[in-house]
């Protein structure tokens, strides 16, 4: 025996109709590259934008970016979400994530930067996501370890739009 429940809408206690997920998109950058003299931030991973389906929703954003620096150097990640820097919670943050490549990482491994955040969409405008990188000195490796033959992976962002 099969039971079927049909309703016209589900509403919260305020009367707002809850419809769930109304849009989703994954953007991935697979190419690996390097940027020399990368001591300033640049748009190394530009994931473009997601245009919401509604004019009033919440867009969840989950991302992973992959950078590396030469051994004995700092590597900096700065995520920019909807035009605003997504920085760490320190008193004077410089980056979303920083790591020092030393003995455990050498030239073979890299540490990804991950974020999970949300944007309140109030007008249906496109929501952009970028991850900017820089290093203490030398060359920034993008989607690869400093020694390209040893490791690397794509960088990705997932957008998930939720109706109110």
Spatial contact of 124 and 76, defined as CB atoms under 8 Å apart: no
In angstroms, how far is CA 65 from the centroid of its own chain?
6
| Residue 98 CB-half CA count within 13 A | 13
The CB density around residue 14, as the number of other CB atoms within 10 Å, is 6
Return the pLDDT at 9: 67
- Give exposure, 121-159, as e/b (b: 16+ Cβ within 10 Å): beeeeebebbbbbbbbebbbbbbbbbbeeebbeebbbbb
Return the pLDDT at 103: 63
Domains and CATH numbers, the chain: 29-162 (2.60.120.1340)
What does each of the 164 residues of the chain score in pLDDT, given as a tens digit? 666 766 676 665 566 665 688 999 999 999 999 999 999 999 999 999 999 999 999 999 999 999 999 888 999 999 999 999 999 787 889 999 999 887 666 667 778 999 999 999 999 999 999 999 999 999 999 999 888 767 889 999 999 998 87
């Amino acid at each position: 025996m099969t039971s079927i429940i049909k309703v016209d809408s589900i509403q919260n206690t305020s009367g707002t109709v809850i419809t769930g997920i109304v849009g989703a998109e994954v953007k991935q950058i697979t190419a690996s590259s390097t940027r020399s003299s990368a001591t300033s931030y640049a748009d190394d991973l530009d994931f473009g934008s997601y245009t919401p389906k509604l004019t009033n929703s919440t867009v969840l954003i989950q991302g992973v970016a992959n950078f590396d620096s030469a051994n004995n150097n700092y590597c900096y990640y700065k995520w920019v979400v909807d035009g605003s820097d997504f920085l760490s919670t320190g008193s004077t943050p410089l980056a979303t994530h920083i790591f020092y490549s030393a003995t455990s990482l050498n030239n073979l491994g890299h540490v990804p930067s991950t974020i999970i955040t949300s944007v309140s969409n109030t007008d249906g405008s496109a929501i952009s996501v970028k991850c900017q990188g820089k290093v203490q000195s030398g060359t920034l490796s993008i989607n690869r370890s400093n020694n390209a033959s040893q490791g690397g992976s794509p960088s990705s962002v997932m957008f998930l739009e939720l109706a109110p």
